[in-house]
């Protein structure tokens, strides 16, 4: 037999030898090249880690518009807008939650149009305008609050969202306490607007005393009313354009805020809440999600709100004083203060009482989400009590804030807040004018093109909602009207999701997303459902730019 020769191939170097050879080779390089190698290794590794974190775990976003104020402050300026951190990893497992704030990709296909502005990627003729890579779809991210979930049957009335219950009835979907606290919008703070005392009575008076407190002197059962109109107004602190209503006056720029509403116009004193006498305009990209609103913003802000909260801290009292939040003769929350202590009532039914004088205690009374609520400091005086739904714009049931009795009350920190109020916009309104408009009245071919684009957008949005009407008879009727496309019967363009008859059921994997600052928000009312696949993550913190807003 022949002898097998020994293996003459060289032995493979061990790991330690390879490392040593690499180190020797590295040491032979010039110092500058060793520095470049180390720098690139570190930063490339850091970049890969950061990219992975951003893609799968957390990401920061800037809030560019005012649609989520006051919870999230939006502005085009980098140094003014809130910067939020969004959780992506946890969101993959738990998904959107009701009333949660979510970042999502805008659900309407868009491409870049003239002057760098966004435009729909589908023409009225159905032609797609996008092409990759020369004209790709835009990937814009929005941030809104998740108001209705898949399977919910809802409608929006009196500024609130009503959801169908297990027994088939509808009730307002109340917000959790923490979210509700973030949504209260201050509309009056005593002392912030010098000399401003929006309390009026026939024989009773309210004035600022030497210490800056409010002194209520009550002499009859009519008492004193908070006479600042409870409008759905929102303006950022800063300049607005104002002029007298009815024409004949020039726009003037005035510095105002929600709690500093007064201004001087040619020697006259005006108030931004007094929309019966004044026109108020603030149309900047920092305020709006969409510029298509134009002057209709003033109409949206004319809505009267019903959900309000009254604060005060009594310093001194004599005689009998009653603090009242009322909606006509239907809902009346009353706190009575006298020498025997205090009594809290809803209508004629006492709910709680005590023998304490409440001097120095923080009192809060609220009508919100069809409930009456009351607190002393941070303690609730009773469980939220159901009240009757009413129309806050009707003269007989408008919300009234009142003090009455036969006595004197000196108070500090007197304030009023209002809740978010979802305005009638988009599908909540009758849009039959879009179909009835006479094209012959158009001034140019561009006007006609814009109008046809608007018609197409309205139809695309309605096609998302009409098939999901909960009432089968209503659904079949409006579907037939839509398919006929008869301009003599545009019934499918009536307001949707505004009452039980037009209630809508949210389809699977779809969400109704609304902005907190409803007059200034383009949201699901305007462009339809947001698919679950478009969701990017939940907002869980504000991190920049003002330390006072970090939370």
Confidence band, pLDDT 50/70/90 cuts, at residue 22: low
DSSP-assigned states of every residue in 154-221: EEEETTEEEEE-TTS-EEE-PPPHHHHHHH-EEEEETTTSTT---EE-SS-EEEE-TTS-EEEEE-SS
pLDDT at 239 (0 to 100): 85
Comparing 239-243, 280-284, 466-470, which segment has the lowest mean pLDDT? 280-284
Residue 442 clears pLDDT 60, i.e. is over it: no
Determine contact, residues 340/399, Cβ cutoff 8 Å. Answer: no
Determine contact, residues 303/231, Cβ cutoff 8 Å. Answer: yes
pLDDT at 516 (0 to 100): 94
Q: Using one digit for the tens of pLDDT, what is the confidence trace for 210-250?
A: 889 999 999 988 899 999 999 999 888 888 889 998 877 88
Identify the three-state secondary structure at position 338. strand
pLDDT at 520 (0 to 100): 86
Count Cβ atoms below 10 Å from residue 473 Cβ, excluding itself. Answer: 9
Q: Does residue 545 have a cis peptide bond before it, meaning omega lies within 30 degrees of 0?
A: yes
Beta bridge partners of 280: 242
Dmax over CA atoms of the chain, in Å, equals 131
CA distance 419 to 367: 9
Phi-psi region of 403 (alpha: psi -120 to 50; beta: other; left: phi over 0): beta
Determine contact, residues 279/382, Cβ cutoff 8 Å. Answer: no
Determine contact, residues 84/61, Cβ cutoff 8 Å. Answer: yes
Long-range contacts of 51-56 (CB under 8 A, 24+ apart): 55/88, 56/88, 56/89
Which H helix or E strand runs over 26?
helix 15-28
Task: Give 367's contacts (C-beta < 8 A, 6+ positions apart).
Answer: 306, 307, 308, 309, 325, 327, 331, 333, 373, 387, 399
Nearest CA to 306 out of 184, 395, 390, 372 is that of 390
pLDDT at 279 (0 to 100): 87
CA distance 196 to 262: 8
Identify the three-state secondary structure at position 32. helix
Kindly state the tokens that stand for 147: 């108001």
Determine contact, residues 277/249, Cβ cutoff 8 Å. Answer: no
Comparing 16-25, 139-148, 158-167, 484-493, which segment has the lowest mean pLDDT? 16-25
Strands 101-105 and 535-544: antiparallel
Work out the angle at residue 322's Cα, subtended by the Cα atoms of residues 320 and 327, and round it to the nearest 5 degrees.
160
Beta bridge partners of 224: 403
Residue 8 clears pLDDT 60, i.e. is over it: no
Kindly state the tokens that stand for 379: 């303690």
Report the share of the chain in percent with pLDDT over 90. Answer: 55
Query: Burial of 165 by CB count in 10 Å (0-12 exposed, 13-18 middle, 19+ buried)?
Result: exposed
pLDDT at 1 (0 to 100): 47
Comparing 281-295, 310-324, 349-363, which segment has the lowest mean pLDDT? 281-295
pLDDT at 343 (0 to 100): 97
**CA atoms in the 13 A half-sphere facing the CB of 262:** 15
Greatest mean pLDDT range, 369-378, 454-463, 485-494:
369-378
pLDDT at 9 (0 to 100): 55
pLDDT at 140 (0 to 100): 86
Nearest CA to 523 out of 393, 419, 428 is that of 428
CA distance 431 to 472: 22
pLDDT at 296 (0 to 100): 66
CA distance 265 to 433: 36
Q: Using one digit for the tens of pLDDT, what is the confidence trace for 493-512?
A: 999 999 999 999 999 999 99
Q: Using one digit for the tens of pLDDT, what is the confidence trace for 25-75?
A: 556 667 777 677 777 766 676 666 655 555 656 788 888 888 898 888 888
Count Cβ atoms below 10 Å from residue 207 Cβ, excluding itself. Answer: 11
Long-range contacts of 481-489 (CB under 8 A, 24+ apart): 487/435, 487/436
Phi-psi region of 223 (alpha: psi -120 to 50; beta: other; left: phi over 0): left
Nearest CA to 154 out of 523, 513, 470, 491 is that of 470
Read off the DSSP letter of residue 24.
Answer: H
Q: Which residue has the higher pLDDT, 521 or 132?
A: 521
CA distance 298 to 273: 11
Residue 471 clears pLDDT 70, i.e. is over it: yes
Beta bridge partners of 380: 375
Q: Kindly report the three-state secondary structure assignment for every residue of 454-506.
A: HHHHHHHHHHHHHHHECCHHHHHHHHHHHHHCCCCCCHHHCCCCCCCCCCEEC
Kindly state the tokens that stand for 299: 């109409």
Task: Give 168's contacts (C-beta < 8 A, 6+ positions apart).
Answer: none
CA distance 348 to 337: 16
Rg (CA), the chain: 30
Residue 395 clears pLDDT 60, i.e. is over it: yes
Identify the three-state secondary structure at position 104. strand
Confidence band, pLDDT 50/70/90 cuts, at residue 89: confident
Determine contact, residues 369/157, Cβ cutoff 8 Å. Answer: no
pTM to 2 decimal places: 0.86
Q: Using one digit for the tens of pLDDT, what is the confidence trace for 475-496?
A: 999 999 888 866 667 889 999 9
Nearest CA to 534 out of 153, 128, 139, 150 is that of 139
């Amino acid at each position: 037999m022949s002898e097998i020769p020994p293996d003459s191939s060289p032995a493979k170097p061990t790991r330690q030898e390879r490392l040593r050879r690499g180190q020797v080779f590295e040491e032979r390089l010039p110092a500058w090249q060793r520095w470049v190698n180390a720098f690139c290794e570190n930063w490339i590794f850091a970049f890969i880690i950061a990219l992975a974190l951003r893609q799968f775990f957390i990401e920061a976003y800037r809030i560019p518009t005012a649609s989520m104020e006051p919870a999230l402050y939006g502005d085009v300026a980098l140094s003014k807008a809130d910067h939020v951190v969004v959780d992506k990893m946890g969101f993959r497992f738990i998904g959107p939650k009701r009333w949660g704030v979510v970042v999502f990709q805008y659900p309407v296909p868009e491409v870049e149009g003239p002057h760098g502005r966004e435009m729909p990627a589908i023409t009225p003729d159905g032609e797609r305008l996008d092409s990759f890579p020369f004209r790709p779809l835009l990937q814009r991210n929005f941030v809104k609050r998740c108001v209705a979930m898949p399977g919910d049957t809802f409608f929006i009335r009196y500024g609130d969202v009503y959801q169908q219950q297990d027994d088939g009835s509808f009730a307002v979907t109340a917000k959790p306490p923490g979210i509700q606290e973030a949504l209260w919008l201050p509309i009056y703070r005593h002392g912030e607007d010098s000399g401003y005392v929006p309390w009026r009575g026939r024989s009773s008076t309210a004035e600022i005393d030497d210490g800056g407190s409010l002194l209520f002197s009550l002499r009859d059962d009519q008492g004193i009313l908070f006479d600042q109109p409870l409008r759905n107004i929102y303006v950022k602190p800063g300049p607005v354009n104002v002029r007298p209503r009815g024409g004949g006056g020039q726009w003037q720029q005035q510095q105002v805020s929600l709690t500093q509403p007064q201004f001087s116009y040619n020697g006259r004193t005006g108030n931004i809440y007094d929309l019966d006498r004044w026109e108020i305009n603030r149309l900047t990209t920092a305020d709006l999600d969409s510029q298509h609103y134009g002057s209709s913003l003033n109409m949206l802000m004319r809505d009267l709100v019903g959900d309000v909260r009254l604060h005060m801290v009594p310093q001194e009292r004599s005689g009998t004083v009653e603090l009242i939040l009322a909606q006509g003769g239907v809902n009346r929350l009353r706190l009575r203060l006298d020498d025997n202590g205090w009594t809290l009532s809803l209508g004629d039914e006492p709910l709680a009482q005590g023998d304490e004088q409440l001097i120095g205690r923080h009192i809060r009374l609220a009508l919100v989400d069809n409930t009456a609520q009351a607190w002393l400091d941070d303690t609730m005086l009773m469980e939220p009590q159901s009240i009757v739904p009413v129309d806050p714009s009707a003269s007989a049931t408008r919300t009234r804030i009142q003090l009455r009795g036969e006595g004197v009350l000196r108070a500090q920190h007197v304030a009023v807040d209002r809740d978010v109020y979802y305005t009638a916009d988009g599908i909540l309104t009758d849009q039959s004018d879009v179909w009835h408009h006479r094209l012959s009245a158009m001034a140019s071919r561009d006007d006609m093109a814009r109008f046809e684009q608007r018609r197409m957008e309205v139809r695309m949005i309605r096609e998302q909602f009409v098939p999901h009407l909960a009432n089968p008879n209503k659904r079949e009727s409006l579907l037939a009207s839509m398919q006929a496309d008869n301009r003599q019967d545009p019934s499918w363009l009536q307001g949707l999701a505004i009452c039980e008859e037009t209630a809508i059921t949210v389809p699977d994997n779809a969400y109704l997303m609304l902005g907190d600052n409803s007059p200034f928000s383009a949201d699901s009312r305007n462009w339809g459902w947001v698919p679950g696949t478009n969701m990017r993550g939940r907002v869980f913190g504000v991190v920049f730019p003002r330390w006072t807003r970090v939370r």
